[in-house]
């Protein structure tokens, strides 16, 4: 497990082991996730993005930049649009990043 703390945001990375998988391999998987996040130069990691959507939709709305959205992020966007009737937009941005907006 690795935790990165920055001003205004924290990201947590983890990987699970399995029978026959060494601790070294699990640690490499976590390190790969951390490196990928740091290289992406986005403030919100792909696994945090889906968790931010509901509070934003219930609150004042807003936007953030992230990497490729996960299936959970896409699903949460659709659920918010269906049940809360909030407009959720996914824009392609520079260098493979994406901007997710919730407009009130």
Does the pLDDT value for residue 18 go beyond 90?
yes
Tens digits of residue pLDDT in 77-97: 999 999 999 999 999 988 789
Tens digits of residue pLDDT in 23-64: 999 999 999 999 999 999 999 999 999 999 999 999 999 999
What six digits make up the tokens of 34?
Answer: 């951390």
Tell me the C-alpha distance between 62 and 88, whole Å: 10
Closest CA to 96 of 78, 69, 75: 69
Widest distance between CA atoms in the chain: 50
CB 2 within 8 A of CB 30: yes
Tens digits of residue pLDDT in 71-82: 999 999 999 999
CB 57 within 8 A of CB 102: yes
Q: Are residues 27 and 11 in the same domain?
A: yes
The total number of residues written for the chain in this structure = 104
Q: Are residues 33 and 54 in the same domain?
A: no
Read off the CATH number of the domain in which 72 is found: 3.30.1370
């Amino acid at each position: 497990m690795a935790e990165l703390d920055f001003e205004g945001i924290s990201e947590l990375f983890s990987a699970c082991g399995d029978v026959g998988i060494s601790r070294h391999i699990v640690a490499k998987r976590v390190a790969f996730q951390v490196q990928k996040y740091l290289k992406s130069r986005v403030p919100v990691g792909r696994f945090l993005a889906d968790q931010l959507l509901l509070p934003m939709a219930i609150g004042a709305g807003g936007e953030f930049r992230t990497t490729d959205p996960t299936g959970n992020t896409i699903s949460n966007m659709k659920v918010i649009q269906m049940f809360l009737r909030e407009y959720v937009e996914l824009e392609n941005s520079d260098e493979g990043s994406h901007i997710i907006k919730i407009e009130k």
